[in-house]
Chains A and B, each alone.
Chain A
Amino acid sequence: MSHHMLLAGPAAETTRVLAYWVLAVISVTSALGMILARRAVHCAMMLALVMLSLAVMYVELGAPFLAFVQVIVYTGAVLMLFLFVLMIVGITAADSIIETIRGQRLWAALGGIALLVLLSLVIGHAAIGPSPPATAKFGNGNLNALAQLLFTKYVFPFELTSALLITAALGAMVLAHRERTGPKPTQRELAARRIASGRPTPLPGPGTYAQHNAVDMPALLPDGTQSSLSVSPVLSGPTPDVSDYPEGLPEGSSEAEPARLASPAGSAGSADSGGQEAGDQW
């Protein structure tokens, strides 16, 4: 059942106008916000808002399939990819306000206005009447009709898109692939590195002597203190207690200061101090 079928009559018309204006205001505002927000994450959120608004408009325009694709593929997949890359690049990265290229903003604004005027002229000049009555193609039959068109008239472009997607996937793999610059370390080198690190033994497993058999529970040392080495820094909270790890373990282990304060005295201290020295060297 199409929306059009459900929403009929003057009341439906009013709802439709209202929806359009609400969505239009939201999308334009969000779009403006997107180009004005300093933080890239905020931009992404604004873009998500625009996309969702457009998805609703697609429903209004009788394209339910595209609306779902818009939500699932665009907002769901593509935008999430943006967010992933943002995490790599740095989620806190913010643009500087100062423009470095002389006259860029002025000319961009002028160009934008000129484009707007030009396109407005074109649209104003064109005779765009009201929509014709919706047929089944714009309602329940939309999916079937699209599929029919896609696999008959547009089957060749459709097949081409598969090639495009494969090429894109390969391209992304090639581009993101990091070439090994040095030779691969041999077993002997790994062993020598391990001995030189000051901790030849494996790290203690979590919760070995604990009541709870969970990875986030630190192991207890013989003197009853907890070994922070036994817990992955990712799991150990907002200020990961990673300093006890010897070098060569995950990034971020340079934050050594809190660990030193937290490290217990005693027999564990000697082991810790060894790791500490290694950390200092690093």
Chain B
Amino acid sequence: MVSPAHFIALSVILFVIGAVGVLVRRNAIVVFMCVELMLNAANLAFVAFARMHNGLDGQLIAFFVMVVAAAEVVVGLAILTSIFRARRSASVDDANLMKY
């Protein structure tokens, strides 16, 4: 029997994997992908909760999350290209001018 708890557990696992990925990867595009993974994990939890509570609000929130994620990706990738254009590097560690 598959209960919402299964999906939520999966969501937790994916979220943690995404979080660790953000921390360990240096390629900015991959970092973005990890962020997307975290958002997807959250979405899964929302949808599972919606099913659990027998309401559609969770699904709608997931929908909004997707919209926001799309906007974030567009702007983030634009930033990325301009950084790449200036520094010839997509590594997040190279963009460290704002420091002590």
Interface residues of A (CB under 8 A from B): 13, 16-17, 20, 24, 27-28, 31-32, 34-35, 40, 43-44, 47, 50-51, 54, 57-58, 60-63, 65-66, 69-70, 73-74, 77-78, 81-82, 85-86, 88-90, 93, 95-96, 99-101, 104-105, 107-109, 111-112, 115-116, 119-120, 123, 128-132, 134-135, 137-138, 142, 145-146, 149-150, 154, 157, 161, 164-165, 167-169, 171-173, 175-176, 178
Contacts and interface: CB of A to CB of B under 8 A. Distances in A.
A197 B5 CA distance: 70
Contacts of B71: 164-165, 167-168
B97 interface: no
Given A128-B3, A130-B1, A175 B51 contact: no
B7 A176 contact: no
Interface string B15-42: 1111111011111011011101100100
Interface residues of B, number: 69
A188 B2 CA distance: 74
Contacts of A95: 25-27, 30
Contacts of B60: 146, 149-150, 154
B68 A51 contact: no
A206 to B, nearest CB: 33
Interface in B1-17: 1-10, 12-17
Contacts of A123: 5, 8-9, 12
Contacts of A105: 23-24
Contacts of B57: 149
Given A116-B13, A161-B68, A17 B2 contact: yes
A135 B15 CA distance: 29
A31 B75 contact: no
B5 to A, nearest CB: 4
B56 interface: yes
A271 B8 CA distance: 69
17 contacts: A35-B25, A54-B40, A61-B48, A74-B40, A78-B70, A82-B33, A95-B26, A95-B30, A108-B20, A119-B12, A119-B15, A120-B9, A128-B52, A146-B63, A149-B56, A164-B67, A169-B74
Contacts of A58: 44, 47
B24 A108 contact: yes
B85 interface: yes
Nearest to A122: B12
B48 A50 contact: no
Given A131-B52, A161-B68, A109 B20 contact: yes
Contacts of B7: 20, 57, 61
Contacts of B21: 31, 34-35
Contacts of A73: 66, 70
List 10 A-B pairs, minimum CB-CB distance, nearest first: A35-B21, A108-B23, A168-B71, A175-B78, A172-B78, A112-B20, A128-B5, A31-B17, A119-B12, A116-B16
The winner among B13, B57, B68, B80 for most chain A CB atoms within 10 A is B13
